[in-house]
Structure 1
Amino acid sequence: MEKFNGLKLLVSVIVILALGSAGGLVTAPQIKTWYVLLQKPVFNPPNYLFAPVWTFLYLSMGVSFYLLWNSKKSNYKQYAISAFVIQFILNIAWSFIFFYLHQVGWALAEILMMWLFILLTIVYAFKVKKWAAWLLIPYLAWVSFATILNAAIYILN
């Protein structure tokens, strides 16, 4: 069993929350201007739901990353961490593509790549630290929903 490292946990959670919030800085001004004008499907959640959901998901991602980072050396540890970093970069990029650039189609293509890297992260994480993988399941579920929502908005607009 790995020794608990509070500093690594704190760094992991704070960095994930801070970088994840960068997407929110781009998103927030667009909600009441550009986004409100888009045709959205009936299953589009209310806007107030997104911030608490993403906060929970970023916290879970931060703990998951900590568990991977703090885990003992294994053949899959670097694969899991690399896949995590790639999916997280894609996560941040999606907000810029969708909300800042207003490129709904490109955002759809990008979120599909993000979904694949989240799945890959989970597969590798299961081989390193099962809890790190389990913590990412709600994230995969939410991004699955977000992918369907992105596709619906693309079709409707």
Structure 2
Amino acid sequence: MAAIIIIAVVVLAAASGAVFKPGPWYQTLRKPGWTPPNWAFPVVWSVLYIAIAYAGWSVWTLSGWSLPMVFWVVQILVNAAWSWLFFGLRRMDLALADIAVLWLSIAAFIITAWPVSTLAALLFIPYLAWVTTAAFLNRAVMRLNAAA
């Protein structure tokens, strides 16, 4: 049952990206030359969401409601909010603050999950790397489009 709930929560978080899509507004924004190609985002996020779900389930089965699971819940909620803030509200500043909280919650999950499940913690390292890239991209797009 826990696996189904965790998968459902991850699917709902992922759906935020399907509901609040980049669209024409994002296409008109100036972006840095190192911006990943558009096709990379759904591919990378699909892999990451699978890892997020597995890591959450793994920690849950080993420790139930525990500090790592609190950070897991925080990161998935904050993750879901980013697309709404950036693409839905077009508030790059709020999205940047959101992604900072996301980064911290991912790092906290890694640290607290490590003693419970090293694999779960390791599965979050690519997620942290991608979110780091996304944070720099969010900031760069915000700076390049200060008047947008």
| Farther off after superposition, 7-16 or 81-90 | 7-16
**Does structure 2 conserve the Cα–Cα contact (< 8 Å) formed by 1:68 and 1:128?**
yes
Residue 95 of structure 1 corresponds to 83
Structure 1 residue 8: Cα displacement: 3.6
Paired residue for 1:26, among 9, 16, 19?
Answer: 19
Q: Provide the aligned C-alpha RMSD in A.
A: 1.5
> Secondary structure at the residue paired with 1:128?
coil
User: Please, what TM-score do these two structures have when normalized by structure 2?
Assistant: 0.91
Runs of 4+ in 1 over 3 A off after TM superposition: 7-11
**Partner Cα distance (1:88, 1:21) in 2:** 9
**Does structure 2 conserve the Cα–Cα contact (< 8 Å) formed by 1:13 and 1:58?**
no
| Farther off after superposition, 89-98 or 31-40 | 31-40
**Partner Cα distance (2:100, 2:41) in 1:** 19
Paired residue for 2:9, among 3, 15, 20?
Answer: 15
Structure 1 residue 12: Cα displacement: 2.6
Residue 119 of structure 2 corresponds to 131
Aligned length: 145
2:43 corresponds to which letter in structure 1?
Answer: P
Structure 1 residue 11: Cα displacement: 4.1
User: What residue ranges of structure 1 are gaps of 5+ in the alignment?
Assistant: 1-6
User: Please, what TM-score do these two structures have when normalized by structure 1?
Assistant: 0.86
Q: Deviation per CA, 1:43-82, whole angstroms, max 9, x where unpaired?
A: 1111111111101000000000010110046xxx610000
**Partner Cα distance (1:129, 1:27) in 2:** 33
Q: Deviation per CA, 1:88-139, whole angstroms, max 9, x where unpaired?
A: 1000001100010000111111101110111001100002111110111110
1:126 corresponds to which letter in structure 2?
Answer: W
> Secondary structure at the residue paired with 1:136?
helix
> Secondary structure at the residue paired with 1:70?
helix
**Does structure 2 conserve the Cα–Cα contact (< 8 Å) formed by 1:64 and 1:132?**
yes
Residue 39 of structure 1 corresponds to 30
**Partner Cα distance (1:52, 1:107) in 2:** 21
Residue 142 of structure 1 corresponds to 130
1:13 corresponds to which letter in structure 2?
Answer: I
2:56 corresponds to which letter in structure 1?
Answer: F
Residue 50 of structure 1 corresponds to 41
| Farther off after superposition, 7-16 or 43-52 | 7-16
Residue 81 of structure 1 corresponds to 69
Larger radius of gyration: 1
1:54 corresponds to which letter in structure 2?
Answer: W
> Secondary structure at the residue paired with 1:41?
coil
Residue 93 of structure 2 corresponds to 105
Q: Is 1:60 aligned to 2:60, yes or no?
A: no
